[in-house]
Each structure stands twice: as structure tokens, then as C-alpha cells.
Amino acid sequence: RPLLLNSVLLRQNPHNVDEWLKRVSLFEGKPREIVNTYTEAIKTIDPKLATGKLSSLWIEFAKFYEDNKQLKETRVIFDKAVLVPFVKVDELADVWSHYIEMELRHECYDEALKHVRTATTPPPHKPSYFDRTESVQNRVYRSLKLWSMYADLEESLGDFTTTKNVYYRILDLRIASPQVILNFAGLLEEKNYFEESFKIYERG
């Protein structure tokens, strides 16, 4: 009966992300049906007409494979997900951040760094974050969420110079939050770069 109701609701609005996720949950314990449902949902939903967060459907699909220890398939899903023409840049940033976090969970640190560098590389013409005539893929390089993640990764996996470079790029893009300024200035103070730290506070 719940499946029948779900089918009716999806006929009324085939672009309803939450109903597709509900349908997946109705097939719990049936992996083949789950994969078929995710695949059908992705083929059916038009990103421009989607109600709910389309990114969450892709993230959950990837997570299904990860939970089943199928890392290769997990990456295939994420690689497709980052090419989806989402309506909002935040959704693409969400997909990238989950992709990066997945690599970190499996201690694939080089892969995590590779993804965050790809996501934050600007296209040659560097469009505005809010320019809706541009694809989300061309605008995600200005996502503070991804840059903050990049700074954290460099601090953990890179060295002082690579971390400093990331912070300066955030400042150059003019997307730094007060917290980013505090983190950067704090890092410089920690390394005894007091004059440079003071300049960062001034710039902030």
C-alpha cells in the first residue's frame, strides 16, 4: 500500500526528490530494487523542475554503494553528480564536499585534495557566484564552504606554505568570512608571523 501511494504521488509530480527517496526506503533490504529506483529517479527528474534537494538524491545513491563497500561505484556516482546542472551552486558544493569527505573516510587523502582543487579551480573567465546565466560548475569555485574545507585539508595534509597560499586565494576572491580571517591570522601568529598576521586583521 505505501508503494502504491508513492507511485500515485510520483505520477502527480515525477520531479519530487523526497518522494523518490521515500520510494528507495520502501525497498530496504532489496539492493537491486534500490539501485533501479535511484537510476529511474535520476533519469526522470529534470534539475530545473526538481522539488527538494536533488543533490541529496545523488549523495544518498553514492552512500548506498559506499555502505556496501563498493568504492569504485561510489566514485562513479559522484563523478556523474558533479556534472549535474543543479539550480543552486550550494547543491553542487554539497556534492563536492560529500565526495571529499568520502575519500577522507577511506584515507584516500590524495584523492580528497585532488577533488577540492578541481572544485575550486576557476574557469578562465571567472564569472560571478550569482550570475545565473553561467552553469553552477562555472561558479562553484567561489564557494566558501569548499575553500574552508581546502584550507583545513592543507593544514592537516600539506604544509604552512600551501595552507597560507589557500588562505590568500580566499582573500583574493573576496569571499572570506570573519571566521576565516581569525583562522588565518591565528595560524600566522602561531608561526610567529606577527606583522603578517596584523595585516590580515587589517585586510579583514
Distance between CA atoms of 123 and 40, rounded to whole angstroms? 32
Q: What integer pLDDT is reported at residue 7 of this predicted model?
A: 87
What contacts 74, CB < 8 A, 6 or more positions away?
62, 63, 65, 66, 102
| pLDDT higher than threshold 80 for residue 32 | yes
Summarised one tens digit per residue, pLDDT across range 163-178 is: 999 999 999 999 999 9
The three-state secondary structure class of 123 is: coil
Identify the CA nearest to 101 among candidates 91, 90, 112, 92. 112
Terminal-residue alpha carbon distance, the chain: 58
**In whole angstroms, how far apart are CA 166 and each of 42, 106, 150, 154, 169?**
35, 24, 7, 8, 5
Q: What integer pLDDT is reported at residue 203 of this predicted model?
A: 84
Arithmetic mean of pLDDT over the chain? 96
Q: What integer pLDDT is reported at residue 149 of this predicted model?
A: 97
Summarised one tens digit per residue, pLDDT across range 56-66 is: 999 999 999 99
What contacts 110, CB < 8 A, 6 or more positions away?
none
Q: What integer pLDDT is reported at residue 95 of this predicted model?
A: 98
How many other β-carbons are positioned within 10 Å of the β-carbon of residue 14? 15
Confidence of residue 134 (pLDDT cuts 50, 70, 90): very high
Percentage with pLDDT > 90 across the chain: 93
Element (H, E) at 75: helix 71-81
Summarised one tens digit per residue, pLDDT across range 71-112 is: 999 999 999 999 999 999 999 999 999 999 999 999 999 999
Identity (one letter) of the amino acid at 169? R
The mean-pLDDT minimum among 3-12, 23-32, 45-54, 84-93 falls in 3-12
Beta-bridge partners for 16: 51
Residue 49 grid coordinates: 523542475
Burial 173-184, CB ≥16 within 10 A → b, else e = bebbeeebbebb
